[in-house]
Structure 1
Amino acid sequence: MSEQRTRPVVYAVWLIIASVVGWFAAFQLTIDKFIQLENPDAELSCNVSVMIQCGKNLGSWQGEIFGFPNPLIGLSLWIAPLVVGVAILAGARFPRWFWAAFGVGVTFAFGLVCWLIWQSLYAPNLGVLCPWCMLTWSVTIPTFFATMVHLTRNGTFTSNERVKDRANSLMAWVPLATILAFAIIILLAQLRGLDLLGEVIGMIL
């Protein structure tokens, strides 16, 4: 069994980076939510334009699907991959049931993000893209892809050595899969009539 399979350093480092970025985005959204609750007419820092803003999302029912602001989910759950990543670097080994539970959590996060992306683009009361939400998407999507590949190669999904070896080689394709996923989101935004690409370029320039 390869060292990469037994101690996935690159995967662990990514979990740490993704957790920090995801938690930061959730923190910023939480601050904006507090500002919005205090003053509904306040101009939030994330409100870049009519099409790219977070105020509309935070004030919608989709922004509180469990009865409380969605950013609180990120503040709580991004701690898990951070701890897992640090533990792996420290040499920790987790049992199969732990990885299975971790996979369920990551899959839930991915499913929630996909639903929120669809709502942001196509819900009649939204039709906007939130900058901090997009930052969250940018780390959640590759984390899901990488985790599914990792759970295959570490034996959580299968004990077939050939399948595990193939999954190990697939990890190098996670960045490409992520780029394709982002391309689909941009395409959906364009089809919806949101000039996402132009807005993003404008923000950079």
Structure 2
Amino acid sequence: MAQTTETTVASDTSSPARPTVLAVWLIVAGVIGWWAAFQLTLEKFHLLENPGSKASCDISILVQCGKNLGSWQGSAFGFPNPIIGLTAWMAPVVVGVAILAGARFAAWFWVLFWLGFVFAFGFVCWLITQSIFVLLTLCPWCMVTWAVTIPSFYAVTLHLFRTGVFPVPERGREIADRLMAWVPLMAIVSYFIILLIAQARLNAIVNIWQTMFH
């Protein structure tokens, strides 16, 4: 029984300390992501109740969310995408609060939690390409979701490597632990890449500048 218990909590006991920073980030990201999904849901209700009207986040032809919400990409699974966010973003908040309260999770739980972020990261990457190359728009609230999903995926992935949930040599765990401090920079680089793609396809910087100051 003792051996089983040790195996169950290996992902936490092998860590030098409780992942407080990760927990706080999960709470912050979850709240921000949920709020973005909530705002998009309200906009969807508004558009359904007022056909032909504009969403409050429709700033210009380029910067808007109405086109995204009205497209099939905006309901990729047969219902509005924001509904996914309203439910899924509660998970990081709960996990983050539980960690701060002293909870320790089994390795299988961390893997399932990580798989959720794998789906979110893949879905966000797909939505980014659809938004830039197909819909030719930049949805404000969608971009907020992108902004918290990307670093969350990086952080959770590295946490699973550094704690041994993903079996790697000790050297690999040390590298993952050091890379955790670089997650903000990794996220900024990712944002910059998205901006470069948007600029090349949509001349985004000029268009957004003109929208803000003209």
- With structure 2 as the length reference, what TM-score do the two structures score? 0.89
Shifted more, 174-183 versus 193-202: the winner is 193-202
Question: Aligned pair count?
Answer: 203
Residue 203 of structure 1 and its aligned partner are, at CA, apart by 4.2
For the 8 Å contact 1:25–1:133, the answer to whether it is kept is yes
Aligned to 2:175: 166
Instruction: Label 1:150 to 1:194 Cα distance change in 2 as closer, same or farther (>3 A).
Output: same
Q: Which has the larger radius of gyration?
A: 2
User: Structure 2 CA distance, aligned partners of 1:8 and 1:204?
Assistant: 43
Supply the AA of the counterpart residue of 2:88: L
* Residues 98-137 of structure 1 mapped to structure 2, 5 A cutoff: 98-123=109-134, 126-137=135-146
Residue ranges of structure 1 left out of the alignment (5+ in a row): none
The root-mean-square deviation of aligned C-alpha atoms, in Å, is 2.1
User: Structure 2 CA distance, aligned partners of 1:6 and 1:191?
Assistant: 44
Residue 158 of structure 1 and its aligned partner are, at CA, apart by 1.5
Supply the AA of the counterpart residue of 1:99: W
Aligned to 2:79: 68
Residue 5 of structure 1 and its aligned partner are, at CA, apart by 4.0
Residue 166 of structure 1 and its aligned partner are, at CA, apart by 1.5
- Give yes or no for the alignment of 1:9 onto 2:20: yes
Say which of 25, 38, 44 aligns to 1:33: 44
- Runs of 4+ with deviation above 3 angstroms: 1-6, 200-205
Aligned to 2:105: 94
Supply the AA of the counterpart residue of 2:183: V
- With structure 1 as the length reference, what TM-score do the two structures score? 0.93
For the 8 Å contact 1:22–1:136, the answer to whether it is kept is yes
For the 8 Å contact 2:15–2:163, the answer to whether it is kept is no
For the 8 Å contact 2:14–2:163, the answer to whether it is kept is no
